Amino acid sequence: MSFKKILVVFVCLAFLAVAVSCKKKSGETIKIGAIFAVTGPASFLGAPEAKTAQMIIDEINSSGGVDGKSLELIIKDSTGSPEKAISFAKQLIEENKVFAIIGPSTSGETMKIKAICEDGKTILLSCAAAEDIVNPVAKYVFKTPQKDSYAAEKIFEVMKKKGITTIGVVASNDGFGLAGKKQLETIAPKFGITILIGEVYDKKATDLTGVLTKLKANNVQAVVNWSIVPAQSIVPKNMKQLNMNVPLFQSHGFGNIKYAREAGAAGEGIIFPCGRLLIVDTLPDNHPQKAVLAKYKKNYEGKYGEDVSTFGGHAYDAVMILVEAIKKAGADKEKVRDAIESLKGFAGTGGIFNFSVQDHNGLAIDSFDMLTVKGGKFVKYEDK
């Protein structure tokens, strides 16, 4: 048989295998769908989220499940593409008849499936940050990450105390950067702060001296960089090179110790808002989040051998909120939805969740702490 013949037969067999592999599981399980950008440009969000969700579901199942039933997690990789998220959401709701959907990782995808979940009366616990997800409030749509506007407000509070009134903003050209820039521009006037110049750079940029020179020429009193990409380590280095001795503020995207390591000495003194996951060791023992954070960090780092990130925490919160609601209300979609809406004082990795009919995010501004880099480590920022 020639190689070509083998290939033809092989291709046919591959199709058969795919067709056969769609097996059905049954039994007393609660199906939970998950749509994460495990690969693709948003994989820095989706990969830790998928790992976290799988880890917790496994933990819960090995300790006897919820409400007498075990949980079945169906993870779909959307690669960050809205059209796939749409297809998967419809598939999960109509075909797999899932109890709830966790994710998607990005705001664009969440906005595309918001109406689909609302129509399908399926609970959606989004891991994306945009405010539009919960404003206007859709009955079945919730989200776990803190609002971008809180991060911006936290930054401006510190600036006000330091007497800074004129700033320059740089942001990456991806969804995270652009949404943050928009929030900064909207909120700045409330704090009496003027944004003299706002610049956008490519998310793959490796040198930002050009952009920063423009900021320097405007004599800004502080720089805010809003992004999630490695440029966060380049900005402080370039500022040193340009001899810009003004404070650098970054977004909660900086909440990954590897960025601080990359920046090295130039990174010292960067101020940024962040959830408490990264400073769990320095939290007092009586802090309501301490136990949750320490457990998540220990389990995740033990299982996957990589540093924990706040993004995985969003998936942790989403799954735990759902599980908590199922424990309270039993395996009934409508009752669980009501239970989530009335959940108060729930300690997650992102903060203390207090949901209500109007607030489907449940986090207040105190869910962010201001952190700074000191001696190559993240520590809580103290006003001087």
Residues that bind another protein (CB under 8 A): 1, 3-5, 7-9, 11-12, 15, 18, 21-22, 38-39, 76-77, 79-84, 86-88, 90-91, 94-95, 106-109, 111-112, 114-116, 118-120, 130, 136, 138, 173-176, 178-179, 200
C-alpha distances out from residue 292 to 50, 142, 234, 314, 346, Å = 19, 21, 33, 13, 10
| Cβ 319 to another protein shortest distance, Å | 20
Nearest-angstrom CA–CA distance, 105 and 48: 10
Segment holding 74, helix H or strand E: strand 70-77
| Cβ 25 to another protein shortest distance, Å | 16
Q: Rank residues 8 and 357 by Cβ distance to another protein and give the closer one.
A: 8
The answer to whether the beta carbons of residues 275 and 313 sit under 8 Å apart is yes
Nearest-angstrom CA–CA distance, 266 and 277: 24
The answer to whether the beta carbons of residues 90 and 115 sit under 8 Å apart is no
Q: Rank residues 90 and 216 by Cβ distance to another protein and give the closer one.
A: 90
Q: Rank residues 114 and 360 by Cβ distance to another protein and give the closer one.
A: 114
Q: Taking every pair of C-alpha atoms in the chain, what is the biggest distance, in angstroms?
A: 80
Q: Rank residues 24 and 384 by Cβ distance to another protein and give the closer one.
A: 24
Nearest-angstrom CA–CA distance, 296 and 135: 30
Indicate the residue type of 16: L
Look up tokens 């990954």; give the residue. 256
Q: Rank residues 115 and 291 by Cβ distance to another protein and give the closer one.
A: 115
Q: Rank residues 112 and 276 by Cβ distance to another protein and give the closer one.
A: 112
Nearest-angstrom CA–CA distance, 298 and 314: 16
| Cβ 161 to another protein shortest distance, Å | 32
- Cβ neighbours, 10 Å, residue 163: 7
Q: Rank residues 80 and 348 by Cβ distance to another protein and give the closer one.
A: 80
Q: Rank residues 177 and 350 by Cβ distance to another protein and give the closer one.
A: 177
- What SS3 class is residue 75? strand
| Cβ 278 to another protein shortest distance, Å | 25
Nearest-angstrom CA–CA distance, 147 and 144: 9
Segment holding 189, helix H or strand E: none
| Cβ 127 to another protein shortest distance, Å | 15
| Cβ 177 to another protein shortest distance, Å | 9
- Catalogue the long-range contacts made by 129-136 (C-beta closer than 8 Å, 24 or more residues apart): 129/176, 129/179, 130/179, 132/107, 133/107, 134/359, 134/360, 134/361
Structure tokens at 175: 């969804």
| Cβ 114 to another protein shortest distance, Å | 7
The answer to whether the beta carbons of residues 227 and 179 sit under 8 Å apart is no
Q: Rank residues 139 and 190 by Cβ distance to another protein and give the closer one.
A: 139
| Cβ 123 to another protein shortest distance, Å | 16
The answer to whether the beta carbons of residues 139 and 354 sit under 8 Å apart is no
| Cβ 143 to another protein shortest distance, Å | 14
Nearest-angstrom CA–CA distance, 255 and 313: 12
